[in-house]
């Protein structure tokens, strides 16, 4: 198959557009798609300081690279969650630090254990609840806090189109109105909650993977050892099957929801109050992060 | 024989010539779930694979 633009050998067939692209034009395509998504969904401007959350996985690494190349004011944040099983965190951190050094991109590293006195391994060991839920609380809290205290206007995450439509399908199948009312490429700022954006929301996982390969971006391949059996995979595979038979389904599903259907769902207008322990907004004080932290500290003694 | 690497597994498919899309179909793999690399370069589904070729199949479906 030949590149639609230059007729060289293609490295990817972008089924939803009915085109094939070579290395050079796939990179150009990804940069343009992200740039258009930033403008289409009014994510941020040239003057804004953007904090990119990076995990070492392909999507966040690609996002970091693309935003830097597009000339935005970008710093990256890596949270060391203290997952030692299979050397998971150590390897992810090494990949991120090496990339920052190689490209000269600014990077901030926060260690959960050093800053807050516990790790996700501790949560796994000491809590009966699902570790993924606690990990989500930790990541959202630290990302927001670093962004707010660092004076960033926007927090960007590497969620891609596949992630977004999988969650959308899951929320629709369960008619989770509250989640549906908040789902989308942008979550506006509210008090000490920094604006959150997903600039890769219109790129597929295949596109980000091939971008990483052709741009020589090394990423951490191994999934988190605690995420086995994640139901997201089932939705992703189902949607990919539909996409294969009916190209363009995922982007139509996503845009249709954001542009036309999202407004039909009403979330509860929850009142936010200040957490008495950390001062950050919460619905039920103390906030979920401070409650988790307190339990971890109690159980350690 | 076409040699296929996938994760920790390596196996051989007894074919002299086959299109990648047909090979993936035989292996019950959806092309949307993977990126296939031959000689360090990603290839498209219409690529012909010949006896002696070696490919690596990378699953790109992350757990989100």
Query: Where is pLDDT greater, at A127 or A170?
Result: A170
Nearest CA distance, B41 vs chain A (angstrom):
7
Note the pLDDT tens digit of each residue in A247-263. 999 999 999 999 999 88
Question: What is the per-residue pLDDT for B63?
Answer: 67
Residues in chain A closer than 8 A to B33 (CB atoms): 237, 240
Per-residue pLDDT, averaged over B28-43, amounts to 96
Residues of B in contact with A243 (CB under 8 A): 32
Q: What confidence category does residue B64 fall into, taking pLDDT thresholds of 50, 70 and 90?
A: low
State the average pLDDT for chain A.
94
Where along chain B do its domains lie?
2-59
- Which chain B residues have a beta carbon less than 8 Å from that of A59? 62
- Binding-face residues of B in 26-55 toward A, CB within 8 A: 30-35, 37, 41-47
User: Global pTM?
Assistant: 0.94
Of residues B7 and A54, more confidence is placed in: A54
Q: Do B44 and A205 touch (CB under 8 A)?
A: no
Q: Three-state DSSP class for B29?
A: coil
Q: What is the pLDDT of chain B when averaged over all its residues?
A: 94
Cβ burial A246-274 (10 Å sphere, 16+ → b, else e): ebebbbebbeebbeeeeeebeeeeeeeee
**Chain B residues within an 8 Å CB radius of A226:** none
Tens-digit pLDDT profile for residues A107-144 = 999 999 999 999 999 999 988 777 889 999 999 999 99
Distance from CA of B17 to the nearest CA of A (A): 17
Q: Tell me the shortest Cα–Cα distance from A270 to chain B, in angstroms.
A: 27
Q: What is the ipTM of this complex?
A: 0.95
Residue A299 has pLDDT above 80, yes or no: no
Q: Which of B31, B43, B60 sits opposite A209 (nearest CB)?
A: B60
Is the pLDDT at A227 greater than 90? The verdict is no
Q: Who among A205, A224, A227 is closest to B60 (CB)?
A: A205
pLDDT digit string, tens, across residues A22-63:
999 999 999 999 999 999 999 999 999 999 999 999 999 999
Neighbours of A107 (CB within 10 A): 17
Q: Do A240 and B32 touch (CB under 8 A)?
A: yes
All structural domains of chain A, each given as residue ranges with its CATH number in brackets, are 42-269 (3.40.50.620), 271-301 (no CATH)
Q: Among the listed ranges A64-78, A192-206, A230-244, which one has the minimum average pLDDT value?
A: A230-244
- Which run of H or E residues covers position B23? helix B20-26
| pLDDT at A229 (0 to 100) | 63
Q: Among the CATH numbers 1.10.10.10, 1.10.3190.10, 1.10.10.60, 3.10.20.30, which is that of B2-59?
A: 3.10.20.30
């Amino acid at each position: 198959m030949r590149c639609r633009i230059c007729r060289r050998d293609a490295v990817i067939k972008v089924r939803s557009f009915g085109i094939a692209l070579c290395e050079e034009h796939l990179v150009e395509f990804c940069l343009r798609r992200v740039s258009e998504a930033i403008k289409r969904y009014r994510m941020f401007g040239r003057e804004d300081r953007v904090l990119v959350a990076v995990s070492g996985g392909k999507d966040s690494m690609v996002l970091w690279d693309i935003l830097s190349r597009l000339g935005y004011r970008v710093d990256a944040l890596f949270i060391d969650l203290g997952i030692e099983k299979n050397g998971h965190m150590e390897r992810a951190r090494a990949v991120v630090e090496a990339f920052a050094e190689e490209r000269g991109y600014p990077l901030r590293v926060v260690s959960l254990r050093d800053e807050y006195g516990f790790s996700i391994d501790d949560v796994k060991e000491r809590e009966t609840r699902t570790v993924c839920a606690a990990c989500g609380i930790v990541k959202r809290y630290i990302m927001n806090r670093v962004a707010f205290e660092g004076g960033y206007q926007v927090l960007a995450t590497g969620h891609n189109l596949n992630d977004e439509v999988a969650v959308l399908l899951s929320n629709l199948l369960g008619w989770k109105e509250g989640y549906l009312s908040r789902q989308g490429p942008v979550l506006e700022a509210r008090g000490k909650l920094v604006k959150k954006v997903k600039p890769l929301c219109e790129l597929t996982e295949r596109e980000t993977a091939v971008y990483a390969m052709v741009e020589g971006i090394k990423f951490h391949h191994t999934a988190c050892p605690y995420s086995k059996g994640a139901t997201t995979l089932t939705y992703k595979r189902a949607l990919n099957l539909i996409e294969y038979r009916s190209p363009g389904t995922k982007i139509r599903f996503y845009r249709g929801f954001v542009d036309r259907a999202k407004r039909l769902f009403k979330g509860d207008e929850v009142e936010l109050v200040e957490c008495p322990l950390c001062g950050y907004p919460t619905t039920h004080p103390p906030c979920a992060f401070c409650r988790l932290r307190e339990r971890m500290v109690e159980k350690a003694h | 024989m076409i040699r296929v690497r996938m994760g920790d597994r390596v196996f051989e498919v007894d074919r002299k010539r086959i299109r990648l899309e047909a090979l993936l179909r035989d292996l019950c793999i959806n092309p949307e779930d993977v990126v296939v690399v031959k000689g360090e370069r990603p290839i498209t589904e219409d690529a012909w694979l010949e006896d002696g070729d070696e490919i690596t199949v990378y699953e790109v479906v992350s757990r989100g």
